[in-house]
Structure 1
Amino acid sequence: MNANLNSLGGWVAKPELSPRELECLGWVSQGKSSTDIGTILGLSARTIDSYLEKAASKLGVRTRIEAVAIGVRRGLIEVD
């Protein structure tokens, strides 16, 4: 089962983030901008924004910072 127990004791689906979405969130957690991440990955800033928007949507949040916080809390990404 691909699910987690929430704080109320109910099961919630664990979102399936793509490897690229996780990679972008990891770079955001390191303080990188979309332009920086695009340069690192050889992609446009708009493409990076798209990956981050999809990740945030899958995690049920609106901003990239919220997505990073949820990702860390759920163990989807690690921060140093």
Structure 2
Amino acid sequence: MPDLVICDIVMPELDGYGVLYLLNKNPKTQNIPFMFLTGKTEHFDMRKAMEMGADDYLTKPFDNLELLNAVESRLKNGRV
């Protein structure tokens, strides 16, 4: 099992929202911290992600330090 999932929203076949939905439905994966790293910057997309249970939402372009801090925070805090 991964310690953290970092996922884009726009992907072929199954989008990031679908990935998050499926991970949350499975008891074995529902507690894995989940971050979106995406080019979608609309407020609607961010709200949808957070309402679905994403733990973080970073938009491209991103700063390396911003990504590392977000990953460190997610790994430290995990999900409750």
TM score, norm. by length of structure 1: 0.27
Tell me which of the two structures has the higher relative contact order, counting C-alpha pairs closer than 8 angstroms and 6 or more residues apart.
Answer: 2
Which has more helix, going by share of residues?
1
Higher strand share: 2
After TM superposition, the score normalised by the length of structure 2 is: 0.27
